[in-house]
Amino acid sequence: MRRLNVAIIGGGTVGCGVYQALRRNSGLLVARTGTHLQINHVVVRNRRKQRPVRFSERLVSTDWKAAIRDPKTDIVGELIGGTTTAKTIVETALKLGKPVVTANKALLSEHGESLFALAAENGAGLYYEASVAGGIPIIKVLREGLVGNRLNYIYGILNGTCNYILTRMEAEGGDFADVLADAQKKGYAEAKASLDVDGLDAMHKTGLLASLAHGFWVSPDQIHVDGIRQISQMDIEFAGKLGYKIKLLASICRLSTTGSRHSAKEHQIQVSVCPTLIPQSHILASVSGVFNAIYINGDVVGETLYYGHGAGHGATASAVLSDIADAALDHINHQTVRVRPFTRHTSEGQVIPWEDIISEYYMRLTVADKPGTMAKITKVLAESGIGISSIVQPEGHKGASVPLILMIHDAATSAMQKALNQISRLNVVKSPSKMIRVEHFH
């Protein structure tokens, strides 16, 4: 029976969850991996802080360098978060040739390419299943389960906080600010919620999935991001009447080069995170509350769906344990990394600028209720080469201005933005206009 020691760096929610789960299921891991995994260090910032789990005193310290450099430490778990000290921790362990398990999506999004190169240079593993979608084993799916597929598209609901807020807005008829405040009070949203509601958390995850799926590094500045702050109760209500639900949707789509102004030799993808109208009949529309889901189409397998808890100490700890087990198996098999953390396999990959993307759109305007209003709006759209698929002027709204909903045929995002700016300046338009992408998953 081989014995391997794991140093846990971080005593927060995730660190506590991993410590508890590893101790509780140590016998199960022995049976399944043939290796006894034990914790030899727990590194925390404050030893006196009250935690939901009581660490063994002999394991606890505040010196992460000593824990990593300990010759008895075989595997390092970086569970502190952030992109500064965490980066140094990961680099230190990799330079010593020690495998690292991390749940840090922000770190990998910002520095993943260099960290993966460092891991390869030192023959060390870098495992990060917990960085995307919590308990859903989506990293393993892309690197192993679907390794023989060209991935045509990946659509995901990757942020549980946003999905929870949108679900409650739909079910209760509440406004964004009120639902967010209540979610913060109940612990479903952080006090500083911008990382979630502005789409940045989902962006970090989306970049990792896009890089793995398409074999070239997708950096954060290549990903179009919009959060959910501007989604109103009115938008959710109108979307529902039109047969849609609004979700914060991550999209990674391989594009055809037909008709593109870009080189036909390039592997082109569109990568975005933004509020999107999706048909109520689609399976992703049924994903509610804090759950995550990823919907993938491969050229061999066809369509597959992955669903589960995307955050929380249990889901994240489960993914970290999976990586620790993989690291252990790699370690005992002559210390080789069976599956490299990231493999570059496309030399001509390109992320298409958001402005060049063709999509359907929902447009909501607040307009003067008088003759000639529609003519002015349709004139701008016609001059921009934008076609309207349907127009809805909801009944029951009284006053000098009323809402007007236009569903737009496929149009370039740049043309839509230009037209919307022109329409917003019309004297018949009474408040800021809004457009939201529509996705039919063709």
Catalytic residues: 205
Euclidean distance between CA atoms 318 and 79, whole angstroms: 13
Distance CA 316, CA 319 (A): 5
With H, G, I as helix, E, B as strand and everything else as coil, classify residue 223: coil
First to last CA, the chain: 52
- DSSP label at residue 433: -
Phi, psi values for residue 206, rounded to 5°: -65, -40
CA nearest neighbour of 127 among 323, 332, 318 = 323
What are the angstrom distances between the C-alpha of 9 and each of 62, 109, 335, 370? 9, 20, 22, 65
SS3 of residue 252 by DSSP: strand
Q: Which residue has the tokens 């942020």?
A: 159
3-state secondary structure of 94: helix
Query: What is the Cα–Cα distance from 77 to 59, expressed in whole angstroms?
Result: 14
Element (H, E) at 302: strand 302-309
CA-nearest of 291, 55, 312, 351 to 164 is 291
Query: What does the alpha-carbon distance between residue 197 and residue 86 come to, in Å, rounded to a whole number?
Result: 24
Q: Which residues pair with 248 in a beta bridge?
A: 275
DSSP bridge partners of 34 = none
Q: Distance between CA atoms of 339 and 127, rounded to whole angstroms?
A: 10
Coil/strand/helix, residue 362: strand
Beta bridge mates, 286? none
